[in-house]
Structure 1
């Protein structure tokens, strides 16, 4: 249970206490006060009416704020169905996609792995739907990832998925931007294809 949910629950408990106090009979309070101090001045009925109105009003405000808080809490936390749907949507979008690599990097370069983690997080959020949070997704690369294959534990809320990304040099060849030439001829930008699959559970 996150801090916001705990605060909402506490608000409901306090509201229930206020309602219980509003239901205490005036005679019981008078008897309690007289037992503590017999010479104390008796409280008028108007005092109890005002106190009950105040307690009920405060309880109503507390209940309203707690209910609104539960709605906010739901919007800031991923539930299992939201994350499952979003991860599947991200997998479908990323599978078969292509992208450019660093013009100066070798094929064994692994810097793309961390960059791709951000891409995964953005795709999951994008496929989360209108009611899903706009943050709170983490794609953590596995330590065993290599330049050609990376695995990411995609987590949010209480669920986790293992997304496997395979990177291969594009069959269509590298990109040759027009008007750019290096010292030994035309400069090419490496192009890669990505195959993406996902299964439930962390990597």
Structure 2
């Protein structure tokens, strides 16, 4: 439970206390005051009527603000169902996708791994839906990643569930891209193209 949610819950508890105070009978309050200070002036019925109206009004405002606060809290934190749906949508979108690599990098280069983490985070946020936050997702690469296969631990602020995304990178079957009008020292420059296979499962990597 985040700090904002705790504050909203506390506000509702205080509202319940105010409503309980408004329900206390006037005779009981008079008896309590008489026990503490017998010489105190007796309070008129109008005082209790006004006090009840004020207490109920304060409780109503507090409840309204708490409900609005819960809505804000929901917009700033992920829940498990939102993350589950977003990860599945991102997995479907990324699986089978293609991307160009660095012209000067070899196939065994691992520089793409950190860049792909950002791509995963953006895809998950995009598939989060209208109620999910637009931030708070982290895709952390595993230490054992290689140029051909990488795993990412996906977490989100507020969600108790984590996911593992397994990404495989292979040279595209459609071949590399040859930009027109660009030549290198040994002939035509080609831009390597890679295909990505992506799967996901709940839990750690």
TM-score bracket, normalised by the shorter chain, equals over 0.9
Partner of 2:102: 102
TM-superposed deviation, 1:31: 2.1
The DSSP-based 3-state class of the residue aligned with 2:47 is helix
The DSSP-based 3-state class of the residue aligned with 1:113 is helix
Partner of 2:204: 202
Q: Partners of 2:69 and 2:101 in 1: how far apart?
A: 45
TM-superposed deviation, 1:37: 2.1
Matched, 1:25 2:25: yes
Q: Partners of 1:200 and 1:37 in 2: how far apart?
A: 66
Q: Partners of 1:39 and 1:85 in 2: how far apart?
A: 68
TM-superposed deviation, 1:57: 0.4
TM-superposed deviation, 1:32: 1.9
The DSSP-based 3-state class of the residue aligned with 2:102 is coil
Q: 1:2-21 alignment to 2 at 5 Å? A: 2-21=2-21
Which of 165, 177, 180 does residue 179 from structure 2 map onto? 177
Q: Partners of 1:39 and 1:188 in 2: how far apart?
A: 99
Gaps of 5+ in 1: none
Q: Partners of 1:132 and 1:100 in 2: how far apart?
A: 31
Q: 1:85-124 alignment to 2 at 5 Å? A: 85-124=85-124
- Runs (4+) of structure 1 exceeding 6 A deviation are none
Cα deviation 1:95-125 (Å, max 9, x = unaligned):
1111011222222222211111111111112
More deviation, 139-148/127-136: 127-136
Q: TM-score, normalised by structure 2?
A: 0.91
The DSSP-based 3-state class of the residue aligned with 1:104 is coil
Q: Partners of 1:155 and 1:19 in 2: how far apart?
A: 41
Partner of 2:54: 54
Partner of 1:187: 189
More deviation, 58-67/79-88: 79-88
TM-superposed deviation, 1:126: 1.4
Q: Partners of 1:154 and 1:28 in 2: how far apart?
A: 58
Q: TM-score, normalised by structure 1?
A: 0.92
Cα deviation 1:152-180 (Å, max 9, x = unaligned):
11123111111100111212222221222
Q: Partners of 1:44 and 1:179 in 2: how far apart?
A: 96
Equivalent pairs, count: 203
Q: Partners of 1:141 and 1:151 in 2: how far apart?
A: 6
